Amino acid sequence: MSGRPSGRLTNLRRLTGALRWCVACAFHPEVAESYRCTSCEKRLCDACVRPVAHRVACAECGHEARAAAPIHDRGVLADVLDRVVSVEGITTSTAFAICYAMSYYLFVFDLIYVGTLVAYYFTVVHHVGGNHAGLPAPSDATVDWMDHIGSAVRGLVCCAVAALPLIVYASVTKRLPSTHTTVFLLVLGQLVVPAAVLAVAFGNSTLDAVWPGAWIAVIARAPSAYVRFLGLWFIAVAIGIVVTIVLAPLGGPLGMFITASVMNLYWFGHAVTVGDFIRRNAAAFGWD
C-alpha cells in the first residue's frame, strides 16, 4: 500500500511510451501538447512552435500559440471529456461493443467482453494515475492473459462489495429486505466501493478488494480528499443508472452494440475519474 504495483505498472510504462490522441501534439502524437494555437487551435509540442518577438507562434499557421494547461491542472470533467471523447476512446469503445454484440449469438463473447472491459478499466486507472496522457491502447489490458483474468476477477469482486451490506442483512435476518431497505443497503455499500477500487489499484491484489483493513488504510491516507471523491463517485453512479435506464429498451445485436458503445465510454470516464483522484493525491498515497 505504500507504493505503486511494480509488475503491472512496469508493463504499462513499457507499452504506453506513446502519449495518446486527446492531449498529444497534432504532428507528433508520441509527445504531449505544450502549446495550443489561438488560430487553428492545433495542439503543439515544443518542436512545433517558434519564437517571434516576445511571443511563441504556431509553426503551421504563424499565429500566436499559448501554453496549454498541464495534464494535472485540468479539471476532472475536462480531463474525462478530453480522454474519453477522442479517437482512442471511441475506437476502443467500438471494438469492445462489437465483442458484446457477438454475445447475442455466442455466450462466450459475453465473458470475453466483461473480462476485457474490467481489465481495461484498471489499466485506465493506472494509466491516468501515472499522469500519462490520453487513454492506454486496448492491448495494454491484455499483455498477459493470466493478469487479464486476475484484473477481471478483482473488478467483479469490487462490484460484489457494493452488495455486501445487502448480503449480510439477508444472511442474518434470513429474509429479503424491503425496497427502501434494499436501496439504503446498496447506498451503504457504495460508501466503501471506492476504497475497495483504490485498494486494488494500489495493491494489485484481489484480497485488497475484500479486506476492510485495506479500505481503512486508503481512506486514512487522505480522508478529506476521499470524501470529495465519494461525492464524484455518487454522481457517476447516478449518471450510470440514468444511462442504463435510457438504453434498457434497446434489443437485438444492434441494440446491444449501441448500448455497449455508450456504456463503454461511461466506464472509461469512470476509470479516468478514479485515476485522476490517484494522480491528484499521489503524495498522500506514496504513488511516486
Asked, for residue 5, whether it belongs to a domain, the answer is: no
Per-residue pLDDT tens over the stretch 168-179: 888 898 888 888
Q: Which residues pair with 100 in a beta bridge?
A: none
Q: How far is residue 92's CA from residue 142's CA, in Å, rounded to a whole number?
A: 13
Cell triple for 108: 462466450
Per-residue pLDDT at 285:
67
Pick from 154, 156, 179: nearest CA to 166: 179
Cell triple for 238: 447516478
Residue 262 pLDDT exceeds 90? yes
Cell triple for 152: 477481471
Residue 1 pLDDT exceeds 50? no
Per-residue pLDDT at 119:
82
**Of all residues in the chain, what percent carry a pLDDT higher than 70?**
82
Residue 79 pLDDT exceeds 50? yes
Domain that holds residue 190: 75-285
Per-residue pLDDT at 280:
78
Mean pLDDT of 54-78: 77
Total domains present in the chain:
1
Identify the H or E element spanning 123: helix 108-129
Asked, for residue 19, whether it belongs to a domain, the answer is: no
Asked, for residue 30, whether it belongs to a domain, the answer is: no
Per-residue pLDDT tens over the stretch 4-36: 444 444 433 333 333 333 456 788 866 777 888
What is the b/e burial string over 103-124, where b = at least 16 CB atoms within 10 angstroms of the residue's CB? bbeeeebeebbbbbbbbbbbbb
Q: How far is residue 137's CA from residue 153's CA, in Å, rounded to a whole number?
A: 21
Asked, for residue 280, whether it belongs to a domain, the answer is: yes
Mean pLDDT for all residues in the chain:
79
Task: Tell me the three-class secondary structure of 186-242, residue by residue.
Answer: HHHHHCCHHHHHHHHHHHCCHHHHHCHHHHHHHHHHCHHHHHHHHHHHHHHHHHHHH
User: 172 or 146: whose pLDDT is higher?
Assistant: 172
CB 17 within 8 A of CB 37: no
Asked, for residue 51, whether it belongs to a domain, the answer is: no
**Which of 64-78, 81-95, 146-160, 222-236 is predicted least confidently?**
64-78
CB 131 within 8 A of CB 71: yes
**Confidence class for position 144, pLDDT limits 50, 70, 90:** low
Asked, for residue 161, whether it belongs to a domain, the answer is: yes
Q: What is the pTM of this model?
A: 0.68
Per-residue pLDDT at 275:
87
Asked, for residue 59, whether it belongs to a domain, the answer is: no
Per-residue pLDDT tens over the stretch 224-252: 888 888 888 888 888 888 998 998 888 88
Q: How far is residue 231's CA from residue 239's CA, in Å, rounded to a whole number?
A: 13
Residue 186 pLDDT exceeds 70? yes
Asked, for residue 159, whether it belongs to a domain, the answer is: yes
Q: How far is residue 117's CA from residue 107's CA, in Å, rounded to a whole number?
A: 16
